[in-house]
Amino acid sequence: MLSNRIEGKWIDCFARTFQLCKIGPGDAVAILSETQSRRINVELAELALQRLGARPFHVVLVTPRLESAVPVRSTGASNALQQLGPVIKALAASAVVIDITVEGMLHAVELAEILSSGTRLYMISNEHPEVLERLMPNPALRPKVEAGAAMLRQAREMRVLSEAGTDLIVDMREAARVGGNWGLADAPGSVSHWPGGLCVCYPRSGSVNGTVVMDAGDVNLTFKRYLERPITLRLENDFITSIEGTGTDAELMRAYFAAWGDRNAYASAHLGWGMNPDARWEALTMYDRADINGTELRVFAGNFLFSTGANKYANRFTLGHFDLPMRNCTVLLDGKAVVEKGRLVPELTLEAST
């Protein structure tokens, strides 16, 4: 297990990242955390903001009681705020919110109100600082992500294929939400997260059909686990109708889906592909589970990210959630490849910074 000692190099990393987010002297910056947040990241954020001459203050919430007997992981929808009016007002009055809640505010119900006056939110994923150090935001990634998001926004159909058997079709007409994240929040009302590097869409209801085959080596990120055997998911009008496969991986997935007793847990959520050349597929093998949340596996370059659970744009809400980064897939937009067998096409490729 890595030590949680404050290191000067990590203050440097946080300060540089906040500079890239255009945080400067005099800015009122709320550091949003909860009692179960990773404390070292809270402290590093405060020290880095002070170094920049900003005016940080802490909003610390008590981590709420569990809402379910089933463990909730990696939803990006923190329930720490509990729609507490004074807290929302304080955050909305800040120039920037540094989000260090456990699950993150990316899909939280309070987010729109916090952003309504131009506040921007920067989510630091629940990772040990060493992970964040390796994945410092790179401004050069922005034009690549913007180009990919533009392609996604203009597409009428996304099709995903793999030699393992994936053949998934997504109707992109009137897609509910399409966007890209390059890891910096530098404009009023913007939201981003560290590490970043993702092009993603939330399709409208009834848009996702076909077959997803997760092969050995693909990742069940909610479980922080590499698959040992293939799992086949059949989808009709967004919903998984069967989970096929033998062995522990398939059994665990079937059990977690069923535990929610909620049909929406079986629905597709967001889909897209990773863009970050510094993120590593094999990173889960290098860290104790307590040290890593695995966010970088969502963004490693060329992965196809298939997710299940809530999609507020399709009016579906559930705490059950899977993030499933897959390798060796081809992603086609109106028949043109943006990812070919797990590799980004040249116009979307950025060289690794290290």
Here the tokens at position 333 are: 């937009």
Helical residues (DSSP H) of the chain, grouped into ranges: 8-20, 39-51, 85-92, 111-115, 129-134, 141-154, 248-259, 296-299
Q: Is the pLDDT confidence value at 146 over 70?
A: yes
Within this chain, do residues 238 and 336 fall inside the same structural domain, yes or no? yes
The pLDDT value given to residue 109: 87
| Residue 311 pLDDT | 87
Mean pLDDT, range 19-32, rounded to an integer: 97
Same domain for 161 and 288: yes
Q: Which residue has the tokens 């997710």?
A: 307
Tokens of 191: 């939201």
Structural domain includes residue 1: no
Residue range 175-228, pLDDT digits in tens? 778 889 999 999 999 999 999 999 999 999 999 999 999 999 999 999 999 999
pLDDT tens track for 291-313: 998 899 999 999 999 999 988 88
124 and 214 both lie in a single domain? no
Q: Of 185, 188, 187, 153, whose CA–CA distance to 172 is shortest?
A: 153
Q: Number of structural domains, the chain?
A: 2
Looking at the structure, tell me whether residues 47 and 164 fall in a common domain. no
Residues 198 and 219 in one domain: yes
Q: Which residue has the higher pLDDT, 69 or 58?
A: 58
**One domain, residues 193 and 341:** yes
Given pLDDT bands bounded at 50, 70 and 90, which one contains residue 107? confident
| Residue-level pLDDT at 177 | 83
Give the CATH number for residue 102: 3.40.50.2300
Within a domain: residue 66? yes
For the stretch 249-307, pLDDT in tens is 999 999 999 999 999 999 999 999 999 999 999 999 999 998 998 899 999 999 999 99
Question: What one-letter code names the amino acid at 184?
Answer: L
Average pLDDT over residues 133-137: 97
Distance, in Å, from the CA atom of 24 to the CA atom of 46, rounded to the nearest integer, reads 13
Q: Cα separation of 22 and 73, whole Å?
A: 31
121 and 173 co-located in one domain:
no
How large a percentage of the chain has pLDDT more than 70?
99
pTM recorded for the entire structure: 0.94
| Counts for the chain of helices (H) and strands (E), in that order | 8, 20
Residue 117 has pLDDT above 80, yes or no: yes
122 and 177: one domain?
no
Q: How far is it, in rounded angstroms, from Cα 223 to Cα 121? A: 27
Last residue of a domain, one of 134, 149, 170: 134
End residue of a domain, out of 111, 134, 157: 134
- Least confident range from 15-19, 105-109, 259-263, 329-333: namely 105-109
Question: Which residues, other chains included, contact 165 with Cβ-Cβ below 8 Å and sequence gap of 6+?
Answer: 211, 213, 230, 232
The parent domain of residue 53 ranges over: 8-134
Of 113, 134, 155, the position where a domain reaches its end is 134
* Confidence at residue 66, expressed as pLDDT on a 0 to 100 scale: 85
| Residue 353 predicted with pLDDT over 80 | no
CA distances from 279 to 21, 66, 221 (A): 20, 32, 14
pLDDT for res 354: 61
Q: How sure is the predictor about 160, in pLDDT bands with cuts at 50, 70 and 90? A: very high
Question: What is the 8-class DSSP label of residue 34?
Answer: E
